[in-house]
Amino acid sequence: MHYKAYFRSKSAIFFSLFFPILLMLLFGSIFSGNGQYHSQLLIQNQSPSVISWKFVSYLNQSNLFTITLIGSDVNISSYIYSHSITSALLIPKNFTQNALNQTKTYLIYYEDPGDTNSIQNYQILNNIVISLNMQIYHIKPAVGIINEPAIKQSPHMVDYYVPGLIGFTILTPMFNMIYTVPNYRKEKIFRQLSLTGLKKSEWIVAHIIHSFFIIILGDILLLLVAYEVFGVRLNLSLESILLFLIIIVLGIFSFLSLGIIAGMASENEETVSIIGNIILFPMMFLSGVFIPLTTAPQYLKVISQFLPLTYFVNAMTDIFIFNNIPMVIMYIFITMAFTIVFFAIALYVFFWNKEVK
């Protein structure tokens, strides 16, 4: 009965099956490049000469910038402001003369602190300036650096978003319970069910089984889109699939239980919405579902350690990207601990009928 009711609900099908695919298409489109850094850079050359244009040429040849030039008669500050430029370089009038005289000269880099690329832009420009200095002073570099892929089957940037999106799908039972539980209480459907002799544990298990099949279906569709549209390549061995299934089952128990707890705490439709958003949105953004927390402040990283979804997403990443089985097993144990606690609380707080439990 639950499956048939579920597949008749357009919103349920959209959010559990098609929304993750939509996110995959979105993230895939944004991050399906070869992962190389690229940024916009406005340049004003107030000292046109062979040296200064050579410097601009080095910047262009690095393929790290899309360069836009403005005339030397333009007021660069006004231009930056009126065109919302976040990254600009001024080569001052005395640049060529100072370079020829080997006198220190400064390029001016205009940055927007809100632009996440500004730090990297500065470092790249600095490195190119160092190379230019070495050329001017005829210094040959003694030490260099080359890069190698950290793991055998080098993943693309888009591959790293797939575990997070699978993490998003595991929230489906939680979404479901947060809205179903208060609705069934309000409509007295639980009271109806209590009179049939159905046990509350049986009802919960039925929803767990139902969620398992919906999530597996959603994840298969997600992976198909990832593979076919964006060429995502994940570690899909028998071992990885088995670990994936174990984590999915634990995740369903965990998040369904959390959904029941949140649903029982909601007295009406207004509080349902508030409680749902308070739990879901911070968890999605702090567990690495959409964005990695590598550059986040330390206190946010600490908070993420207390969120069950973090370990779920980490486990998915270690299964499908890094094939790091010992870490996956550790995450399984941590997720199991969360599951036991949440499930026990859910069984305790969940009742058919307020008075006679």
* Complex with another protein: residue 42 or 178, whichever CB lies closer: 178
Structure tokens at 55: 């410097």
CB of 268 to another protein, least distance (A): 16
Task: Say whether residue 6 binds another protein (CB under 8 A).
Answer: yes
Count of residues that bind another protein according to CB under 8 A: 21
Considering only 188, 220, 268, 349, the residue that binds another protein (CB under 8 A) is 188
Task: Say whether residue 5 binds another protein (CB under 8 A).
Answer: yes
What residues does 41 pair with on adjacent strands?
A: 67
Task: Say whether residue 201 binds another protein (CB under 8 A).
Answer: no
Whole-number Å distance between alpha carbons of 298 and 18: 34
Task: Say whether residue 11 binds another protein (CB under 8 A).
Answer: no
Task: Say whether residue 356 binds another protein (CB under 8 A).
Answer: yes
* Complex with another protein: residue 78 or 196, whichever CB lies closer: 196
How many C-beta neighbours within 10 Å does residue 210 have?
19
Task: Say whether residue 50 binds another protein (CB under 8 A).
Answer: no
The pair phi, psi for residue 69, each rounded to 5°, is -105, 140
Considering only 77, 154, 192, 271, the residue that binds another protein (CB under 8 A) is 192
Give the CA angle between residues 324, 328, 332 to the nearest 5°.
175
Whole-number Å distance between alpha carbons of 118 and 125: 10
Task: Say whether residue 270 binds another protein (CB under 8 A).
Answer: no
Half-sphere exposure of 88 (CA within 13 A, CB side): 20
Contacting range for another protein; rule: CB under 8 A; set: 47-55, 83-91, 111-119, 187-195? 187-195
Contacting range for another protein; rule: CB under 8 A; set: 1-9, 144-152, 158-166, 212-220? 1-9
Whole-number Å distance between alpha carbons of 20 and 154: 24
Considering only 78, 196, 294, 298, the residue that binds another protein (CB under 8 A) is 196
Contacting range for another protein; rule: CB under 8 A; set: 28-36, 191-199, 237-245, 269-277? 191-199
How many C-beta neighbours within 10 Å does residue 41 have?
23
DSSP string, 138-179: T---S-------SSSS---GGGGHHHHHHHHHTTHHHHHHHH
- Interhelix angle 238-265/325-349, rounded to 10 degrees, is 30
Contacting range for another protein; rule: CB under 8 A; set: 104-112, 182-190, 241-249, 262-270? 182-190
- Report the interface residues with another protein, using CB under 8 A: 1, 4-6, 8-9, 187-189, 191-198, 202, 353, 355-356
